Amino acid sequence: MEKRDIWSTLSRIDAKLLYALLAVFIIVPLIKPLGLPMSIPAETRAAYDFIDALPDGSLVLLSVGTDPQTEAETWAQAIAMGRHLLSKKCNLVLMSVNSVGQPYAERLASILQEEFGLEYGQDICVLGFRAGEETAVAGFAGDFLTLYNADYKGAPVKELPMLKGVSSAADFKLIIDYQYKASAIWFARHVGGPHKVPVIAGSRASSAPNMMPYYASGDFKGVLPGIQGGAAYERLLQRPDQATKGLDAQSMGLILVILSVLIGNVATVMGAQAKSKKA
């Protein structure tokens, strides 16, 4: 049996070993956070400052587009921002334009209700899912009470105490969107522009570049890019939680990706050199 040299071995690492290493690299920081340093993006700080400057009791819409695919990135953002908004005694209205995002809206309301002792209908309510994606957002902007005449339990929206006197999308002081497709851009287009309601985008890291032009133009008052945005928000709130752990795990996973690329390349180059020397 031919004896392999080290470069040959390194260029043929079993994929299962890489999988096992990745699992370890991700799970360990989730169990025991490493406390790696982090930078706070300017657009996340802007979101924090904007919410911090909201008058107490402001009516805020949270569009929860989170689903299992984006949960790792946007769920922790929603929890952290929800806590911040409620510390400002804001009234929260939750909705979703994602058919599988609605249960996340319900869960977010339930978690915040329990943590802050909120009364449903008085401090927080869930309107539910509406089909149509961008059209649903346009419908919300055009005639909020026609789109939502009842909440997710079927109770008439007009009878919810927190929505008494609310007749249009313009009555909201802020909209925060947790990304489903380009939902934050839909809100900026249909509500932010025509009704002058500020919009903040909680996005996936991979979509953050698409959000930045809207932040630069002032259409978004802030952007939370992926886990980094959530972790930065938790840092600003001085309440590290899921995103802070997730950022450490993501960093360790990235280290393995980079090591994999480096090992693969070095092994290929050195292996080729060793072969040519033998020849």
Partner 1 sequence: MFIRKQLPVLVGFVGGIIVLGGFFLTDPSLRKAASTVVSWRTTLAAFALVLGAMNLVKVNWNRASAGKPIDRLAGLALLVPLVIMVVIGLTSGTTAKVYAYMYDNVYRSGAATVFSLNAFFVVSAAYRAFRIRNAHAALFMVAGLIAVLGPASIGAYLWGQLPVIADWVLKVPSMGATRGFEIGLALGIVSMGARTLLGIERGYFGGE
Interface residue list for partner 1 (CB under 8 A): 13, 15, 18-19, 21-22, 26, 36-39, 41-42, 67-69, 71-72, 99-100, 102-103, 106, 130-133, 135-136, 138-139, 142-143, 146-147, 152-153, 194, 205, 208-210, 212-213, 216, 225-226, 228, 231, 247-248, 250-258, 260-261, 263-265, 268
For residues 57 and 194, which CB has a smaller minimum distance to partner 1 in the complex? 194
- Give least dist CB 231 to partner 1, A: 8
CA distances from 98 to 66, 158, 268 (A): 8, 24, 46
- Give least dist CB 225 to partner 1, A: 7
CB atoms within 10 A of CB 98: 22
Which tokens belong to 7?
A: 């470069």
- Give least dist CB 173 to partner 1, A: 22
Give yes or no for a contact between 248 and 29, defined as CB atoms under 8 angstroms apart. Answer: yes
For residues 15 and 53, which CB has a smaller minimum distance to partner 1 in the complex? 15
> Which residues, in sequence order, are bridge partners of residue 120?
124
For residues 19 and 161, which CB has a smaller minimum distance to partner 1 in the complex? 19
Residue 131 makes CB contacts below 8 A (sequence gap 6+) with: 99
Rounded to the nearest 5°, which phi and psi values hold at 130?
A: -130, 135
For residues 83 and 130, which CB has a smaller minimum distance to partner 1 in the complex? 130
- Give least dist CB 55 to partner 1, A: 28
- Give least dist CB 133 to partner 1, A: 7
For residues 176 and 215, which CB has a smaller minimum distance to partner 1 in the complex? 215
Task: Measure the CA–CA gap between 60 and 90, rounded to whole angstroms.
Answer: 7
For residues 91 and 228, which CB has a smaller minimum distance to partner 1 in the complex? 228
Rounded to the nearest 5°, which phi and psi values hold at 120?
A: -65, 130
- Give least dist CB 138 to partner 1, A: 5
Task: Measure the CA–CA gap between 139 and 135, rounded to whole angstroms.
Answer: 6
For residues 87 and 265, which CB has a smaller minimum distance to partner 1 in the complex? 265
* Lookup result for tokens 């949960």: 71
10 Å CB burial of residue 71 (0-12, 13-18, 19+) is middle
- Give least dist CB 87 to partner 1, A: 25
Give yes or no for a contact between 200 and 223, defined as CB atoms under 8 angstroms apart. Answer: yes
Give yes or no for a contact between 244 and 235, defined as CB atoms under 8 angstroms apart. Answer: yes
